[in-house]
Amino acid sequence: MEGGLTSKRRRTGLRVYTDLEKAKVTLDGNEVGALEGGQFSLDDLSDGQHSLEIIDGTSQAKIVVVGAHDTMPLIQGPLEVKNLKAIVVTNGPQRGQILSSYGPLPALMDGKQIGALSSTPLELPNLLPGTHDLDVGTGKDERKVSFQVGAAPALTVFLSADRNVGNLLVVAGEDGATVLLNGRKYPRTTKHGQLVIANLEPKRYTVLVVKDGFQKAPPQEVNIQKGQGAKLIFALQPVPTLASLVIAGATPLVEVLLDGKPLGTIQQDGSFSVANVQPGPHTIELKKDLFKPKELQRQFVAGGSVRLTANEVALESATPPSPALAPAKLVVQTVAGAQVIIDGRASLAKRVPMGVWKSLRRLPVTIPWRSWQSLATISRKRLHSPPVEFLPSRPICWLPCPSSTNMWWKLQRNSHRGAGQGSISGE
């Protein structure tokens, strides 16, 4: 025990593959089962030394092995066979051994030479998990088999009676998958992700692998030869149960919601995608500050994708247009009929309330000379006013007093040569 956790101990697994039809399997003198389809398996061989025997009439094999959990099993003594040829593979963590009842014969594993196979164990260093292909001998003595390396140690036995049959290894990667040979269902399903079909008549087969909840994989063809093992690998893919949403050309940083629940935000390049949408009708909502929200109704199908274009996801601005600015108005209070000169252009003045003067008293105003005679009498003198412009031909300008409705200021030009500056005075 370490850190409060107990690691699971893995016992040795036993696998027997043969072209014998009705052989019995005994372990330490006790019958543990019969071959089924030319194979036998046991997943939890107890630790210690064991005697394994396979007997079918005059054909028999005896193998003595010592096993221990999490350790590569070791073969003790020679392989004892009668009317059979045996190849035995043992493996543990990243290590293995291979030996045979005949040889020596050249051997390749996964297409690479590993040495001469014989009754003396041949080391297989750095043996990685997975399915490995073994090719032993040449010509009429050539034999091809495949074995699997997993997390647990294992003893794999291949026995051949030199019958006119071959075998097929189907790798599906899933347990419980059904294999069909030329349209006929094989009675056993995959275990540990694979199935070995032994004692096949040498000929060409069409193989199909199916399993509920998985997409139908394309069928494959294989040619079975006498004494040879073939292998087919099927990549079963689960049937899609979800749909996806893909958006392109959207406004960056827009929030995306599905049925009111946030999914994420649009990327800076205007893209967005999510692949975990449940099939069925959904409401897609797009939201961003200063924009009007948008809702879209779409139907999602398992394994399908809903794609939204830039036109579909374009958002309308929520900011009202700026009102048109009214033209600036200049209000000058003076006598009726007087001329007000702005930028050199004259217009008739209209009378306005006296209070307007308080906000306009700093604007220069000029009126013609004839207007001053119609103004009221000035009763008080007002000084210190800002400068005011004058017409070249009219030296006097009048403005109403800001503090009295009955008082006017008389503006006298200081110079008699053209327009210029003047000051306010009262009479």
For the segment 196-223, what is each residue's pLDDT rounded down to a tens digit? 888 899 999 999 999 999 988 999 999 9
Band of residue 5 on the pLDDT scale cut at 50, 70, 90:
very low
CA 406 to each of CA 374, 379, 380, 401: distance values in angstroms, whole numbers, following the listed order: 13, 9, 10, 8
CA 357 to each of CA 56, 77, 257, 401: distance values in angstroms, whole numbers, following the listed order: 127, 125, 59, 8
Band of residue 335 on the pLDDT scale cut at 50, 70, 90:
low
Q: How far apart are CA 21 and CA 295, in angstroms?
A: 68
Q: How far apart are CA 178 and CA 205, in angstroms?
A: 16
Cβ(47)–Cβ(186) under 8 Å?
no
The pLDDT value recorded for residue 138 is 85
Band of residue 226 on the pLDDT scale cut at 50, 70, 90:
confident
Q: Is the pLDDT of residue 69 over 80?
A: yes
Band of residue 227 on the pLDDT scale cut at 50, 70, 90:
confident
Proportion of the chain above pLDDT 90, given as a percent? 44
When mean pLDDT is compared over 68-72, 370-374, 422-426, the highest value belongs to 68-72
Q: How far apart are CA 217 and CA 197, in angstroms?
A: 19
Element (H, E) at 86: strand 85-92
Cβ(301)–Cβ(280) under 8 Å?
no
Cβ(241)–Cβ(280) under 8 Å?
no
How many CB atoms lie under 10 A from the CB of residue 357? Answer: 19
* One-letter amino acid for residue 207 of the chain: V
* Tokens at 234, concatenated: 């099927």
Question: pLDDT for 141-182, tens place per residue?
Answer: 788 888 888 889 999 999 988 888 888 989 998 999 999 999
Q: What is the mean pLDDT of residues 12-25?
A: 87
SS (H, E, C) 43-83: EEECCEEEEEEEEECCEEEEEEEEEECCEEEEEEEEEEEEC
The pLDDT value recorded for residue 375 is 35
Q: Is the pLDDT of residue 364 over 60?
A: no
Q: What is the mean pLDDT of residues 64-86?
A: 91
The pLDDT value recorded for residue 332 is 55
* One-letter amino acid for residue 410 of the chain: K
C-beta contacts of 222-227 below 8 A and 24+ residues apart: 222/168, 224/166, 224/167, 224/168, 224/200, 225/166, 226/163, 226/164, 226/165, 226/166, 226/202, 227/19, 227/142, 227/143, 227/160, 227/162, 227/165, 227/166
Q: Is the pLDDT of residue 360 over 80?
A: no
- 39-45 and 12-18 strand pairing: antiparallel
The pLDDT value recorded for residue 400 is 54
Band of residue 4 on the pLDDT scale cut at 50, 70, 90:
very low
Q: Is the pLDDT of residue 330 over 70?
A: no
**Which position has the higher pLDDT, 21 or 96?**
96
CA 32 to each of CA 18, 28, 52: distance values in angstroms, whole numbers, following the listed order: 16, 10, 10
Q: What is the mean pLDDT of residues 273-278?
A: 93
CA 396 to chain CA centroid, Å, is 85
The pLDDT value recorded for residue 411 is 52
CATH code of the domain occupying 243-313:
2.60.40.1120
Q: Is the pLDDT of residue 385 over 50?
A: no
The pLDDT value recorded for residue 331 is 53
Q: Is the pLDDT of residue 361 over 90?
A: no
For 247-306, give the DSSP string.
Answer: E-SPPTT-EEEETTEEEEE--TTS-EEEEEEPSEEEEEEEE-TTB--EEEEEEE-TT-EE
Q: Is the pLDDT of residue 86 over 60?
A: yes
What burial class does residue 341 get, using C-beta atoms within 10 Å of its C-beta: 0-12 exposed, 13-18 middle, 19+ buried?
Answer: middle
Q: How far apart are CA 96 and CA 94, in angstroms?
A: 7
* Tokens at 290, concatenated: 């200063």
Cβ(386)–Cβ(397) under 8 Å?
no
Mean pLDDT, all residues of the chain? 79
Classified by CATH at the fold level, domain 164-239 comes out as Immunoglobulin-like (2.60.40)
Question: pLDDT for 398-427, tens place per residue?
Answer: 555 554 444 455 555 444 443 333 433 333
| Partners of residue 387 on adjacent β-strands | none
| Adjacency order of strands within the sheet including 305-308 | 272-277, 243-247, 305-308
Parts of the chain belonging to CATH 2.60.40.1120:
164-239, 243-313
Q: Which value, to the nearest 10 degrees, does the dihedral of the CA atoms of residues 347, 352, 358, 363 take?
A: 0
The pLDDT value recorded for residue 318 is 85
What burial class does residue 289 get, using C-beta atoms within 10 Å of its C-beta: 0-12 exposed, 13-18 middle, 19+ buried?
Answer: exposed
Spatial CA neighbour of 53 closest among 89, 14, 91, 90: 14
Q: How far apart are CA 124 and CA 114, in angstroms?
A: 8
Residues 6+ apart with CB under 8 A from 30: none
Q: How far apart are CA 149 and CA 92, in angstroms?
A: 8
Spatial CA neighbour of 358 closest among 331, 339, 387: 331
Proportion of the chain above pLDDT 70, given as a percent? 73
| Partners of residue 24 on adjacent β-strands | 34, 55
